[in-house]
Amino acid sequence: MVSLVLAGVWALAVILSLNIGSVPIPVRTSLGLLADRLAGVSSGDPLEAVLFSVRLPRVLLGSLVGAALAAAGTAFQSLLRNPLADPYVLGVSTGASLGTIIYSIVIAGTGFATMGGGLAFGRPLAAFLGAAFTVGAVYLTASGGRKAADNSQRLLLAGIVLASFLSSINVFLLTSINQADLRGIFYWLIGDLSRQVDASIYPVTALVFAGVGILYIFSHSLNLIATGEEDALILGVEVKRVKTAVYIIASLITGAVVSISGPIAYIGLICPHMGRMLFGSDNRILIPTVFLFGAIFTLLADTLARTILSPAELPVGIVTALCGAPLFIYLLHRKGRDK
């Protein structure tokens, strides 16, 4: 029932986002154009190009990216039993962006792209490898804590430090990028939904929905792990296998969407936290609801980014960072106070 309500809220957010912008489109007009498109009829309205070539792809992309990052954040927080965990904070998003940048430089340097290369799954695969490398590096760096709580804190600290290090590498690599493309890459590194979507969106969409479906299958095991790994083992959960699988899947989801939108900050922190406040901590409910909530939040943030300085646009990552950074500080303060 909650998911149905959130799906209705998402539909309203879609209509809002489609109609608001530097070129406003009346709701009746946009709904009429959508109905004509579904019927296979072209009205010839000049607003049709704005709606279907610019707004609708961006709305669908924002929904996909927000839903994926929110689901990945939920998985990381459940595994680490820490509300501060999130793909951006753990460095997973930065690692995925590093993989994407290296892939882009290699493709451009070899001339593969101009010869019709650059397979649709190449960039998401490179982003996933970057994300997986980062997760592995963070895990190895942080291993050694005697208690689960110690490991959780060490993972967060290792993720923050490694993300800073990888960001420096990203900046260094960008010095080899053509100056004409540098502005677009800079926006992408902040988190941007305005870039034109290519054929990679299809494997990315498939990976996200398959990955979130698998995370949902593990939701009961995540609930048991959240009560304590020893108790989960007694109840028959293969803790190491579940943790490894969830780490890999969450990294795959993160890498896939970062490859097309850049590392958008704090969606994986804000949405799971709000979801737990509203719907509780049961991952069987939390994963599907946060998936929808992430799509709604990202759509509203992107709509604000497009309109606050209209006709100029802000990268959506700036809006999410402005929302997420205070929440991160609040959670950090509350966690220290509880201890």
The per-residue pLDDT for 2 is: 82
- Banded model confidence at residue 12, pLDDT cuts 50, 70, 90: very high
What mean pLDDT is predicted for residues 139-160?
69
Question: What is the residue-wise DSSP string for 12-53?
Answer: HHHHHHHH-SSS---HHHHHHHHHHHHTT-----THHHIIII
pTM exceeds cut of 0.75 = yes
**What is the rounded average pLDDT for all residues in the chain?**
82
- Banded model confidence at residue 234, pLDDT cuts 50, 70, 90: confident
- Banded model confidence at residue 101, pLDDT cuts 50, 70, 90: confident
- Banded model confidence at residue 286, pLDDT cuts 50, 70, 90: very high
Question: At residue 117, does pLDDT exceed 70?
Answer: no
Alpha helices in 52-178 (DSSP H): 56-80, 92-110, 122-142, 148-174
Q: How many CB atoms lie within 10 A of CB 337?
A: 7
What is the rounded CA–CA span in Å between residue 24 and residue 315? 20
Over the stretch 208-233, which tens digit does the pLDDT of each residue have? 999 999 999 999 999 988 888 888 88
- Banded model confidence at residue 23, pLDDT cuts 50, 70, 90: confident
With a CB cutoff of 8 Å and minimum separation 6, the contacts of 81 are: 148, 149, 152, 225, 226
What mean pLDDT is predicted for residues 34-62?
81
CATH 1.10.3470.10 is the classification of domain 62-338: yes
Find out whether 256 and 208 touch, Cβ atoms under 8 Å.
yes
What is the rounded CA–CA span in Å between residue 133 and residue 32? 47
Can you give the residue ranges of every domain in the chain?
A: 62-338
Angle between the N-to-C axes of helices 92-110 and 148-174, in degrees from 0 to 180, rounded to the nearest 10:
30
Proportion of the chain above pLDDT 70, given as a percent: 88
The per-residue pLDDT for 181 is: 60
